[in-house]
Amino acid sequence: MEKAEITKLIKTEAKKLGFQDCGIAPAGYLDKDAAHLTGWLNNNMHAGMNYMKGHFDKRTDPVKLVPGARSVISVILNYYPPEVKNDKKSPQISKYAYGIDYHKVIKKKLKKLLEIIRGFDETVTGRFFVDSAPVLERAWAARSGLGWIGKNSNLINRKYGSFIFIGELIIDLDLEYDNPAKDYCGNCTKCIEACPTGAIVADRVIDANRCISYQTVENKGEIDNKLKKKMGNWAFGCDICQDICPWNNGIKPTGEPDFISRKEMLEMTRDDWNKLDEKRYNKLFSGTAVKRAGFSGLKRNIAFLEK
């Protein structure tokens, strides 16, 4: 099968699986991204995410992850929920956490896509990744033409905005490649100006120490008191820099059934959040990304907002 034909089939099958778009880039060393990552780490902007220091070679070169890698297939999946909490006075969770944990949803689809590719050519080997492995997913998505990395460091797609998940499939097969996407942020600085904690310290540079998402999801210690009264009502994650982005105006909600908001989560009041016990927590957030914070972490976040 010719490269053009199999490339077209891969993209067609990716969309059949529910992905909004699929782009492909040649596997190779990410020199500019490696330099950016080095500077970010050296300035301790990774906060407590020490895992970001690990596997640097694999993080910047896909061939280290998949020997013989030739192509990096990137996919995006819209997760913008049809409904979000209307009670803005109660604790809020990021839009990506309303449905089933995206890792499970996307990995299942990517596994199927790899099986389909092997159906075309049984000699193909590869691995799929979703966020939890040392892969610079936004860099690869941008290289494959699926969008550009905005000033808030999120991937932005012209049609689907930034409320999108990214997945990668790295394979040892030559394909036809897409051109990198153009940057359409222009002179806009709305995301930088909107961040209440000043976490966007420079264009495309996020200081995790100040980031609400880091503090409420990844941070396993105490929340920095300097952020008190600056976090709004965010109990898990934060969408401020995305909600303000003009590219997210009028985007369509997701059609993925697993990402539909759970009614019980939408209806929680401030009192419900404050009275949340572990049994209720496990029932309410089972299978969702909120479980990453753990019960104690979520209760810590809620208590911090109340102080």
- Token pair for 101: 């944990």
- pLDDT tens digit string along 173-190? 999 999 999 999 999 999
Domain-embedded: residue 289: no
- pLDDT tens digit string along 126-179? 999 998 789 999 999 999 999 999 999 999 999 999 999 999 999 999 999 999
Domain-embedded: residue 115: yes
CB within 8 A of 114, min separation 6: which ones? 124, 126, 128, 169, 171
Q: How many CB atoms lie within 10 A of CB 6?
A: 18
For residue 47, the model assigns a pLDDT of 96
Phi, psi of 209 (to 5 degrees): -60, -30
Q: How many CB atoms lie within 10 A of CB 86?
A: 8
Q: Is 131 a catalytic residue?
A: yes
**What are the b/e assignments for 25-42, b being 16+ CB within 10 Å?**
bebeebeebbebbeebee
Tell me the pLDDT band of 49, cut-offs 50, 70 and 90: very high
Number of domains in the chain: 1
Number of residues that this document lists for the chain = 307
CA distance 145 to 207: 26
Using the structure block, give the residue that is written with the tokens 């539909």.
260
Among 213, 205, 211, 214, smallest CA distance to 37 is for 205
Among 98, 67, 59, smallest CA distance to 81 is for 98
- What is the reported pTM? 0.95
Q: What's the N-to-C CA distance of the chain in angstroms? A: 63
Task: Quote the percentage of the chain above a pLDDT of 70.
Answer: 100
- pLDDT tens digit string along 224-273? 999 999 999 999 999 999 999 999 999 999 999 999 988 888 889 999 99
Domain-embedded: residue 261: no
Instruction: Mark out the alpha helices in the chain (DSSP H runs).
Output: 3-16, 31-42, 56-60, 102-120, 137-143, 190-194, 212-213, 240-243, 263-266, 270-274, 278-285, 294-306
3 state DSSP class of 14: helix
For residue 84, the model assigns a pLDDT of 82
- Check the CA dihedral 98-100-289-167 and report its sign: negative
- Token pair for 47: 């906060």
Q: How many CB atoms lie within 10 A of CB 175?
A: 21
Domain-embedded: residue 49: yes
- pLDDT tens digit string along 191-225? 999 999 999 998 899 999 999 999 999 999 999 99
CA distance 284 to 268: 10
Domain-embedded: residue 8: yes
Q: Give CA separation, 157 vs 3, 39, 64, 146, in Å.
A: 26, 26, 28, 6
Domain-embedded: residue 189: no
Residue ranges making up the domain that contains 97? 3-171
Of the residues 131, 183, 224, 258, only one is catalytic, namely 131
